[in-house]
Amino acid sequence: MAKKLVTDLQVAGKKVIVRVDFNVPHKGDVITDDNRIVAALPTIKYLLENNAKVILLSHLGKVDYKKSEEEIEAAKKKNDMAIVAKRLQEHLPDNKVIFVNATKGEELENAINGMNEGEVVLMQNTRYEKGESKNDPELGKYWASLGDLFVEDAFGSVHRAHASTVGIPTHLPSAAGFLVEKELKFLGDAVENPVRPFVGILGGAKVADKLKVINNLLEKCDTLIIGGGMAYTFLKAQGKEIGSSLVDDEKLDYCKQMLEKAKELGKELLLPVDTVVADHFPDPIDGPIETEVVSSDAIPAAKQGLDIGPETAKLFAEKVKAAKTVVWNGPMGVFENPTLAVGTNEVAKALAECEGTTIIGGGDSAAAIKQLGYADKVSHVSTGGGASLEFLEGNGLPGVDIINEK
């Protein structure tokens, strides 16, 4: 990577602003998964061990400023960073973590100016500021004035040009943290310099969500596997009966183009050969549901496909296990339902057994691999679903592009 890394900075005695991704799932005051906090610890600890004063910025949840004042305040209350400060202190027992319930002003400035080396200040949720998501230049300039250096370590946010990701490093010397470095290395090596055979797996609901990813991966990989809801648009594009399955009719021509492109490039594009169907979508999503397995050539008119079938799972798994590089983004079915998680589980199991480099591209795929118990058996689970997709599309990442070159 040509970007400066945190190890390239002289941090001793400096106030180092670190954009982290502490957007953790929580129910009330209880954090249900602190993986994102844990993922940021290597960079934070490195800075503390090298006598920096560490200022952490992160968002938590969403605040929609188009809503009423009452709804905005409720969203802020729901997404208060105080719960994160408490958990972070547990992970850093030998260092003082100071939570500041402010995003601007005297309280924040005094806390930062009063810091000692080896201490941490965690600022309140960046999205408490309306100008954050608009990359307000004055907000970015103000936050930059609070520190001496900037480190970007929130891979889950680098695809967004926000004040905390792009505005701050516009004004300060900047570098990538260890998490961002790791993410870019795994994804970059996989896409640009893969050990072959290289297998891409795409799932999820809609073709429209992954237009550029399909096109880009088709050019890079040897085999492209397509499952999940998006597979039915491809099947319909082949002239097959898909019953009442999810379909994106506006993208049928695009799917035909991709099928033709695969032939022209000599690439293998694999679609389901059998499908698990039901007469309705599960409601609740994890509730009991009656299913049957049918050929993907002839899904009954009143049925909808909700998971790949056993023959498809076997076909996909064989391709995955034989690969040297695998990138997976998107589940094979409605994995939140135990009955409909079999296909996703089989693919996840194959990734765990693959001896090559296996990368999970964040989002639902990361949730699935963790839920199914295989997260520690793959090479890398990305912390950023949206950022991973942007990267796989071949797009730039604003929060990375702004970082100083070596």
User: Which residues form the catalytic set?
Assistant: 36, 206, 363, 386
| Cα dihedral 351→353→355→357 (10° resolution) | 20
User: Given its phi and psi angles, is residue 377 left (phi above 0), alpha (psi -120 to 50 degrees) or beta?
Assistant: alpha
Instruction: Please report where in the chains the tokens 């970059």 appear, as a residue.
Output: 188
- Sheet containing 304-308: give its strands across: 292-295, 274-278, 304-308
Q: At what angle do helices 82-91 and 35-49 cross, to 10 degrees?
A: 60
Helix, strand, or coil (residue 130): coil
Residues 6+ apart with CB under 8 A from 45: 92
Q: Which two tokens stand for residue 280?
A: 């309705």
With 0-12 / 13-18 / 19 or more C-beta atoms within 10 angstroms meaning exposed / middle / buried, residue 22 is buried
Distance between CA atoms of residues 66 and 262, nearest Å: 44
* C-alpha 190 chain-centroid distance: 16
Amino acid at 296: S
What 8-state DSSP symbol labels residue 3?
B
Q: Which two tokens stand for residue 129?
A: 């500021």
**What string of DSSP letters covers 157-180?**
GTTS--IIIIIGGGTS-EEE-HHH
Helix, strand, or coil (residue 294): strand
Task: Return the exposure string of 216-255: e unless at least 16 CB atoms fall within 10 Å of the residue's CB, then b.
Answer: bbbebbbbbbbbbbbbbbbbbbeeeebbbbbbbeebbebb
Q: Distances from the Cα of 158 to the Cαs of 24, 133, 162, 311, 399, in angstroms?
A: 16, 12, 9, 39, 4
